[in-house]
Structure 1
Amino acid sequence: MRVKRYVVDEVPEALPIIRSELGKDAVILNTKEIYVGGFLGLFRKKKMEVIAAVETNAPGVRNVPQNPLPVLAKPPGAAAAVAEAAPPPPLPQAAGMQRQQVARSAAAAVPADPEEVSPADQPSRDHAQAAPVRESAARSSARFTVDQDAVLEEIRQMKAMMAKLARSSELDAEPAALGKLRQRLAEQDVEQEWIELLVDKIKAHPGYNPETGEEAIWEIAAELLREWVNPGEPAGIRDGTRVVHVVGPTGVGKTTTIAKLAAEQVLRSKRKVGFITSDTYRIAAVDQLRTYANILNVPMEVVFSPLELARAFKQLEDRDIIFMDTAGRNFRNDLYVSEVNSLIQRDEDCDTFLVLSLTGKTRDLEAVASRFVAYGVTKVIYTKRDETDAIGSVLNLAMQHHLKAAYVTTGQNVPDDIEPFRSDRYVAQLLGAQGDD
């Protein structure tokens, strides 16, 4: 076995050197940290010592014989004999005797093996000798993998620590207003990623400098936030929309929200409204929507599968707009999402709203939103605004999934406790103002 020691800055640096010198079958036996150089124990540099080895019969490694045959000494006067004319060739009998002497000399130079090994036994003997080497190589390889993972993890931790220290030094140099802004957004459950992005955008804003006052900083923040959450176009029910699908998890208030939207269409827009419900899983869900249908004096159809949709739309073909309620299920299950998606119409005059409760955790809301966004849902209605003070999830979902907030509900009263989403009002509330203007 050939063993060699390498000293490098990082373990990965030794790998190409080992392969080039010892071949592709080389294995690393050990790695450890060492310190080299310096003066009187100071200013020493940290290095990695790598011990590698390869079997001497491995491909790519030259195998030098342990006991090479001795070179026969030239007889005295050989040089002179070369210079002279070549003598006539010896007799065949003399040549044969000379070859026998050379063979006997070579046999005497090779030490006898104490154990006679037959050609048939040689492979098994080589295998037995190589087994400990292979076991040692396997253990060394496993140890190297563990050591390399530990080194990489240490590097990641050091990078994180350096980034934290750099961020800490930046925070020390920031105006106090930015610290207050960070704290306010964190209290509103805005994710740290978007807080840091907002602060970076504020620092890059033309109106910012380290002496900028608190009021000016918060005005810049409000301006940026309005751009982020503003859908750029009305996200409510469009003119000419004929079918409105309402989807979302259980318990967020989908049926009550449908009643509020329908009442607005009946009482304010004077449109003829119809209801379709596929929520046949929840007890009394059909009766709840039927109650609202009776109050508003609008027809309602119940469907149990996508095959019955054509019949329901045929019954409501004289309606200006149709609201379709869907079952609230555990939409972390992709099967349920696919089931609801099969009920959604894709025509241009159709629209779909995802209903989410502001009282839910951002992580749970994102889990549901990500599944519906995959099916093309882009509009959301936020319910139960009156039941929470933390509204950062609206910003989180707008940034993460580009969801456009369409409506916000603020209570149980039908049809009063619903309003179109306004980015200026939302940002004012997010930053701590009442936002009642």
Structure 2
Amino acid sequence: MRVKRYVVNALPEAVSMIRTDLGKDAVILDTKEIKVGGFMGMFRKKRMEVIAAIESDASKQVELPQRKPSPEVNAVVEQILQTAQRAGAAAAVMEPPSPPQPAPLVSEKRMEREQFIINEIRDLREYMVKLSRQQSDLHSLSEPLIALKERLQEQELESEWSDKLIEALQESEKNAGRVYDRLEVWNESKRILVEWLRPYSNAEINREARVVHFVGPTGVGKTTTIAKLAAEQTIKRGRNVGFITSDTYRIAAVDQLRTYANILNVPLEVVFSPMDLPKAYKALSERDLILMDTAGRNFRSELHVSEVISLLQSNEPNETVLVLSLTGKTTDMAIIAERFSKYGIQKVLFTKLDETTVYGAIMNLVLTHGLNPTHLASGQNVPDDIERFKAGKYVDLLLGDAEHE
């Protein structure tokens, strides 16, 4: 029996080394987390210690690890080796070994460690099977489908939706009795994606709402967006609009909205707390529509979300719209969307369309979190750089031109 010890960053790294050193019939006997390196006991790094073994001729001397294992490890190794010898064969390294029969005095801790080893090997096997399946699936795809999958990956569309789209296309090809060319793949993809977005594609800001609140992180362009919508309502629809801002954390934000208010000849009220809201609403009582700007905060924090929600109180018909920038990370936007959705906020307006070429975040947030996009905004021109969300136009951006991808 040859026994070797490995110190690695993760278990998969050890598997490769064990295969090279001991062969495919080696058995992982024990794994545990250890700390190595450092200076005077500080800055030590976490590593994984792996003990592996392989049966050899009885005449060969057992190869000992470089450092003497602890008595606990020796006990586990001895128990497992005795079980393996009674069974008459060693298990393959990729197959979880059968749990050893515990001796009458085997400690509960040792049994837990042995079960941990089995679970680690099982998880590793499942991961490698999944990886192998993904590689096999990729090789089975046609060139147009591979190109589409690569495009969607570049657009940061979550694999759940890209895989589902590929499956739908393969089913469509099966029904058609042929393999689609590149243009057909893109056209069919657009049809499917637009159909997926159909339940969310007719969202708009409620025309019956007299007060509309805008919430979102710092720097997403809420103030400019509010000015664009106010100009649209004032110039194109002839409505009397009023502004309220609670973004008193940034003096520049108040000044910016005040500048827009002066240009559009729209009154502006500044509130510092929920207690100031009744006074602001009374001052704007003659206005048909009130647009409220809220402070941008770190909305990954539940506390900051609740602070903003406390300002969204009104006896008037009202609505709240979440504003997100397409230049942000999808993961961050998803967390913010989840925070606000708890309070019933399901409408979203995306900004900075002109500052990115990656559009998968919209599809991810709509399909995963059930958000309803109302507008897409781009640029600084008021009121021109904003338009209603249209599923077909958005999908064209997501897929790009089939002939140039």
Q: 1:144 aligns with which of 111, 123, 126?
A: 111
Q: Distance in 2 between matches of 1:268 and 1:172?
A: 54
1:265-316: CA deviation from partner (whole Å, max 9, x where unpaired): 0000110100111111112221211111111101111111112212211111
Contact 1:31 1:144 in 2 (8 A): no
1:391, distance to aligned residue in structure 2 (A): 0.9
Q: Call closer, same or farther: CA 1:324–1:421 in 2, change over 3 Å.
A: same
Deviation at 1:208, TM superposition (A): 5.3
Gaps of 5+ in 2: 1-75
Q: Does 1:243 align with 2:211?
A: yes
The 1-side partners of 2:315 and 2:152 are apart by 39
Q: Cα deviations across residues 180-208 of structure 1 (Å, max 9, x unaligned)? A: 11100111111222211221222234755
Aligned to 2:171: 204
2:160 to 193, 203, 213: 193
Q: Would the alpha carbon gap of residues 208 and 253 (structure 1) be closer, same or farther in structure 2, given more than 3 Å must change?
A: farther
Report the counterpart of residue 98 of structure 2 in structure 1. Answer: 48
Q: Assess if the C-alpha contact under 8 Å between 2:245 and 2:292 holds in 1.
A: yes
Q: In structure 2, the residue corresponding to 1:284 is in which secondary structure? A: helix
Q: Once the 2 structures are TM-superposed, how far is the Cα of residue 175 of structure 1 from its aligned partner? A: 1.5
Q: Judge conservation of contact 1:203–1:209 (CA < 8 Å) in 2.
A: no
Matches within 5 A, 1:411-422: 411-422=379-390
Contact conserved, 2:201 with 2:390, CA < 8 A, in 1? no
Aligned AA for 2:362?
Answer: V
Distance change >3 Å, CA 272–CA 155, structure 1 → 2: same
Q: Map Cα deviations across residues 359-379 of structure 1 (whole Å, 9 max, x no partner).
A: 111111112111111111111
The residue that corresponds to 2:252 in the other structure is 284
- Verify the 8 A CA contact 1:254 1:325 in the aligned structure 2: yes
**Distance in 2 separating the partners of 1:241 and 1:216:** 43
- Any unmatched runs of 5+ in structure 1? 1-27, 55-132
Partner of 1:389: 357
Alignment of 1:157-172 (within 5 A): 157-172=124-139
Please give the TM-score of this superposition, normalised by the length of structure 2: 0.73
- Residue in 1 aligned with 2:241? 273
1:230 to 194, 198, 210: 198
Q: Kindly name which structure, 1 or 2, has the bigger radius of gyration based on alpha carbons.
A: 1
Could you tell me how far 1:229 is from its partner in structure 2?
2.9
1:326 aligns with 2:266: no
How far is 1:321 from its partner?
0.6
1:34 aligns with 2:123: no
Instruction: Please show how residues 91-130 of structure 1 align to structure 2 within 5 Å.
Output: none
Tell me the distance in 2 between the aligned counterparts of 1:401 and 1:46.
38
Match of 1:213 among 181, 184, 187: 181
Query: When the two structures are superposed, what TM-score results if normalisation uses the length of structure 1?
Result: 0.68
Runs of 4+ aligned residues of structure 1 deviating over 4 Å after TM superposition are 35-38, 206-210
Tell me the residue number matched to 2:280.
312
Q: Give 1:47 shift.
A: 5.5
> Secondary structure, in 3 states, of the residue corresponding to 1:230?
helix
Equivalents in 2 of 1:195, 1:221: separation in Å? 10
Q: Which amino acid aligns with 2:264?
A: L
CA apart distance, 1:425:
0.5
* Aligned residue number for residue 370 of structure 1: 338
Identity of aligned residues (%): 47
1:303 to 2:353 alignment: no
Distance 1:279 1:292 in 2: 15
Match of 1:103 in 2: none
Is 2:398 aligned against 1:430?
yes
Deviation at 1:347, TM superposition (A): 6.3
Name the aligned partner's letter for residue 186 of structure 1.
Q
User: Structure 1 pair 379/231, CA: closer, same or farther in 2 (3 Å)?
Assistant: farther
Report the CA distance shift for 1:405/1:46 in structure 2 as closer, same or farther (over 3 A). closer
- Would the aligned equivalents of 2:194 and 2:395 in 1 still touch at CA under 8 Å? yes
Q: Higher RCO, 1 or 2 (CA under 8 Å, sep at least 6)?
A: 2
Supply the AA of the counterpart residue of 2:84: I
Q: 1:359 aligns with which of 305, 327, 351?
A: 327
CA distance in 2 between partners of 1:276 and 1:377 (Å): 19
Q: What is the distance in 1 between the residues matched to 2:118 and 2:103?
A: 22
Aligned partner of residue 389 in structure 1, secondary structure? coil
From 125, 134, 141, the equivalent of 1:174 is: 141
